[in-house]
Structure 1
Amino acid sequence: MKRPLALSSALALLCSVASAQAAPLTVYCPMSDDDCGSVLAAFAADTGNEARFVRIGAGEILARIRAEKANPQAGLWLAGAADNFIQAAEEGLLAPHKAAGIDKVDPRFADKDGAWTPISMSPLVFAYNADLVEEAQAPIPDSWTSFADPAYQKNVALAHAASSGTAYVALASVVQLSGEDEGFQLMKDIDKNVIQYTRSGVAPSRMVANGEVALAMAFTQDVEAALAAGYPLDYAFPKEGTGFEVNAAAAVANAPEDQATAATAFLDWVLTEKGQAAMGATFRGPIVPGYVNPEARIDLSNVKLIDYDFAWAGANRARLLERYENEVRHKADAQ
């Protein structure tokens, strides 16, 4: 009689373990719903690890993980500029993990301690509506100063740097190009032309695509997505050179064990050929050389990039954002 009882207990234990393993990975993700979903679906299909995501802006993810530090509600932070992750690592909010395949990535774009994992690269681009530009008799944007041109008065949409990784990379790019005081003066001049600040970095380019404003900043993948959907959208790069995002992912510190295990599995997977293809399908540039999305319309090989120091941008993020809120625009103004 004892053997059936033991077998029953063993089966119950196995079911309990299987149930625990089946709990989906909870992911905070600032990409679009489609992009978050497609990458995690590819991860699940290839590894069997199911995941669910909460979509919020990169800056807001940092704030949420900070607020949840004593009781983490997610295991993985998927996507966002590396400078956000650098700040999070300095605050002890990330669980270091040196991903398998990290040796294939240029060391300039990786964290030496493995606090976060680089997953893709995206340059900033100017998105504009040619009809509205012509109607405003404004010049085609070809410089960071174009956003301050009076011809674009109340015809610009930007994301807020405190809530959007896209907008913070733009702020850090302007500061690195022009110097801090000159860069902030330009942001103040640009502010005079801004009709709306959004919480999401994707929203401004969508406003351009919908004919609501003439000009916005975006990462190239956002413009690619609009073009693929058939929207009338034009793009240009600044003659001075453009900043870029090293897109990253990281495991959240002190997450439950099953969440932590699934998170590190994702970090190992995303640098594989299938992981890079899944990121590339969102029109983000590869961080591991070799993958090219055949459907992409923007040739990233000819884009003039500045020597963007994302480590400096991450280390100075809190200070620059405080100055931005005090001198340019309060976060509360973002919609």
Structure 2
Amino acid sequence: MRSSNWPSQRALLFWCVTLFTAVVVSTAIASGCSSRTQPEVVVYTALDEMFSKPILDAFEKKTGIKALPVFDTEASKTTGLVSRIIAEKDRPRADVFWNNEIVQTIMLKQKGLLAPYHSPSSDAIPSGFKDPEFFWTGFAARGRVIIFNPETTTTPPTSIRDLLKPEWSGRAAIAKPIFGTTAAHAAVLFAAWGEEEAKTYFRGLLQNNVAVLAGNATVRDMVANGEYAAGMTDTDDANGAVLDGRPAKWLFPDQEEGGMGALIIPNTVALVKDAPHPDAAQKLIDYLLSPDVEEALAKSRSLQIPLNPAVRVPDGVPTLSSIRAMAVDFEKAASLFEKAADFIRSEFLK
């Protein structure tokens, strides 16, 4: 004789079997999806998004690896991302650091936060722009230049020391030398000139009423607007003003025979130590160091100078051989970065 609650027991059994089947199927589906998850790479990049994102999109299209970029802001170029890598050292989130300059990349190496990787794409890069131990490699350089407004001056400064002259009092501008390429420039001068001479130079800029603005793009805009006659900026910012038809021209400083030369600052790419996705990171590094990327950046508004001699340099883009480049010990500059930064903050943030 069947129990009076047999129908309810049968219903309970039915729903248990149904639930078990659903769990098994969903687990199988999840497992299958997981095995087909798109590979990814997290890249911290200080290069402006308008220039770096198309490169990363092309990488993703070519390789199928999803690039997850974290960009920096103009006001805190490079420094913000460097601080983030330092803060995350125990549990890194970034796989690749794509810096728009070199000094703070070397500083990360000195702090033990990068891992060596010898990319085959780096072999053609000149030795002065790559680490002999393969912790970082430079590519696609920019130069520190003098930008001037031809409507307000016909005799622009031709040396960075010219900004100390009385005729440029109140008429010239620089970016605050705390972030990005301006911070790198300060550290390089500490290394090249010595601490005391570099301090005298920066104090002299303030004493000569050289304006200190938020960033290189602001220097470009205020010179092009006629608010200042000249200033120091980077080739990419200066070129943007020219392409837009604004009253602006630019030149590499200190190009005379025996002159110091212009500071040439490459992008740098490095593998972060204990990167979560090391294989994908290496593929991205290989791609960024390829001739195609240098050529693309040279053709862009960024006007970046190729370092690989095999790259076809577009018309109007400077070549390394056409510039008197400043001789720089970047390792020494990196070791002096904090000292230079402390001084700059004490003088420029009063």
If the TM-score is normalised by the length of the shorter chain, which range does it land in?
0.7 to 0.9
Residue 100 of structure 2 contacts residue 268 of structure 2 at CA under 8 Å; is this kept in 1?
yes
Unaligned runs of 5+ in 2: 1-22
- Distance apart, 1:190 and its partner CA: 0.9
Match of 1:37 among 48, 53, 60: 53
One-letter amino acid of the structure 2 residue matched with residue 319 of structure 1: K
Moved more, 37-46 or 106-115: 37-46
Q: Distance in 2 between matches of 1:201 and 1:29?
A: 18
Q: Distance in 2 between matches of 1:124 and 1:329?
A: 20
Moved more, 286-295 or 58-67: 286-295
Residue 146 (str. 1) matches residue 166 (str. 2): no
Runs of 4+ in 1 over 6 A off after TM superposition: 5-8
1:211–1:81 CA distance, 2 compared to 1 (3 A): same
With normalisation by structure 1, the TM-score equals 0.84
3-state SS, counterpart of residue 270 of structure 2? strand
Moved more, 6-15 or 115-124: 6-15
Residue 87 (str. 1) matches residue 103 (str. 2): no
Q: How many residues align?
A: 320
- Distance apart, 1:171 and its partner CA: 2.0
Match of 1:195 among 186, 211, 214: 211
- Distance apart, 1:93 and its partner CA: 1.9
Residue 49 (str. 1) matches residue 68 (str. 2): no
One-letter amino acid of the structure 2 residue matched with residue 243 of structure 1: L
Q: Distance in 1 between matches of 2:60 and 2:224?
A: 32
Match of 2:232 among 205, 217, 220: 217
One-letter amino acid of the structure 1 residue matched with residue 116 of structure 2: P
Q: Distance in 2 between matches of 1:253 and 1:12?
A: 31
One-letter amino acid of the structure 1 residue matched with residue 50 of structure 2: D
1:102 counterpart residue number: 122
Residue 141 of structure 1 contacts residue 236 of structure 1 at CA under 8 Å; is this kept in 2?
no
Unaligned runs of 5+ in 1: none
Q: Distance in 2 between matches of 1:132 and 1:81?
A: 31
Q: Distance in 1 between matches of 2:325 and 2:169?
A: 28
Q: Distance in 2 between matches of 1:117 and 1:9?
A: 44
- Distance apart, 1:301 and its partner CA: 3.5
- After superposition, the CA RMSD in angstroms is 2.9
Identity in percent: 25
Residue 204 of structure 1 contacts residue 217 of structure 1 at CA under 8 Å; is this kept in 2?
yes
1:215–1:29 CA distance, 2 compared to 1 (3 A): farther
Q: Distance in 1 between matches of 2:52 and 2:325?
A: 26
Q: Distance in 1 between matches of 2:318 and 2:128?
A: 24
With normalisation by structure 2, the TM-score equals 0.80
Give the 5 Å matches for 1:3-18. Answer: 12-18=30-36
- Distance apart, 1:312 and its partner CA: 1.5
Residue 101 of structure 1 contacts residue 268 of structure 1 at CA under 8 Å; is this kept in 2?
yes
Q: Distance in 1 between matches of 2:189 and 2:132?
A: 26
Q: Distance in 1 between matches of 2:235 and 2:266?
A: 13
Asked which structure has the greater CA Rg, the reply is 2
Residue 329 (str. 1) matches residue 345 (str. 2): no
1:287–1:297 CA distance, 2 compared to 1 (3 A): closer
